[in-house]
Structure formats: C-alpha cells, structure tokens
Amino acid sequence: MKTDIVGGESFMFIEIEFVFISKTICSMKKIACLLLLFVAFQVSAQEFHFIPKIGLNFANMTNSDGSMKPGLNIGVAGEVMMTNNFAIEPGIFYSMQGFKIKELGVTEKLKNDYLNIPILLKGYVYEGVNLFAGPQLGFKVSSKIKGADSRTSVETDVFSDWFNTFDFSLVIGAGYRSQMGLLFSLSYNIGLTNVLNKGNIASSMSGLGISASDLDGKSRNGVLQFNVGWSF
C-alpha cells in the first residue's frame, strides 16, 4: 500500500488542484467560444463545423533521458471549409505533457500541463481521409514533479520556474471523418522552442557556482496524440 508522505494535507491538495483545473477548463471554454465565434463571424459565408475532441497523449522531452508519459488532452476546434477539399482549423486544448523516468524502483514524472492553440491547414485527400499541419502556440498552466516508489509518494511544484511559460511547436498528422461526423486523428507535435529556462535554473544553483552559460543543450517537447471527436 502506498503512503503519501504529505499526510493529511493530501486530500486538501487534491481538492485545491481539482478546483484549479476546473477553473482552468472554464476559462478554456470562454476563450474557445470567443475564438470560434470570431472565426465563424469572419467566414460566415463558408461552411463551418464545431468539433469537440478528447484524446490520449504520449509525451516526452528531448535530452531528458526519460520515456513517454501518458496523459489526456481535451478541447474544441472549429473547421472552416474554404473549398470542398481544403479547410482551416483553429482550436484550443488542455494538454498534459512532460516525461517519466523509472530507475532503482523509483518512478519520477515531470507533469507540464499546457493550454495549446493550434491553427491547422487541412486537406481532404479521399472522402473523409485528411492530412493536416500547422503551428501551435502553447502556454504553460502548471508544472509539477512527482516521485513515487512502492511505499511513498510526493509531488511538488518547487521547480516550476525551471520551465518556460511559452512553447511553440509544429503539428503534423492525419485523420478521418465519417459521414455521420465521428472523427479520428493521429498527430505529432514537434517542439521548436527550448522548454528549459536556463536563467532560472542557474539562479537557483548560483550557490554551486553554476551560471546559465554552463548549461548546455536544449530540451524540446514531443507529443504523440490520438484524438476522437464529433463534427457538428
């Protein structure tokens, strides 16, 4: 049986975290509605589809020595049909990312959650089969590190400022939309910016004589995503 070393405060922590995520999702809904209303207004003469989606992430970071960490992504998109075979699809998603490391019986997880805003160009190549690609803006919502073994578990956000608040990536993928509106997609998010904030890392290690110039290399996000949704 696992014992949470934070003791009686664990339930309070879970409750606070639940409230935080709930408020974040509410904010996402407001932003999504404004975004989609704007797009719909601008292209009112075009065919428009509202698409709620949910999916599974397999996330990792380059130069991390970690493995893929599963997580969820959920959000909405708006598909604007510019022609019969070409569309623009902006969206907004809450995405659980990071990576995990397991060694000597201890599993450590970096849990970086983002609010991602992709703007995709989509081409239908055969009936409902489509290919898509485009840029994605990412805004970090939270950053936590969790460590656990067979007996204990602890989670902290003390290193949150080690990771940049903004992420930019390229999304590429393929999907299928049935005549009823059910859709499936498989995509990969290729991180283009450094996730690590070298200045903050060096500042926290200044007592060890480490400066930002001593920190070599970059670490970028990489996320494999499988999504299902419904096109209205």
Domain ranges of the chain: 3-230
Distance between CA 150 and CA 129 in Å, rounded?
A: 46
Distance between CA 138 and CA 194 in Å, rounded?
A: 12
Distance between CA 77 and CA 56 in Å, rounded?
A: 16
Closest-CA residue to 74 (of 62, 88, 91): 91
Rg for the chain, CA atoms, rounded = 20
Sequence letter at residue 3: T
CATH topology for the 3-230 domain: Porin (2.40.160)
pLDDT at 31: 65
Distance between CA 37 and CA 50 in Å, rounded?
A: 10
Specify the DSSP element, H or E, that contains 204: helix 198-204
Helix (H) and strand (E) counts in the chain: 2, 10
Per-residue pLDDT tens for 169-199?
Answer: 999 999 999 999 999 999 999 999 999 988 8
**pLDDT surpassing 60 at residue 8:** no
**What number of other Cβ atoms are within 10 A of residue 69's Cβ?**
21
Per-residue pLDDT tens for 119-163?
Answer: 999 999 999 999 999 999 999 999 998 888 767 888 888 788 989
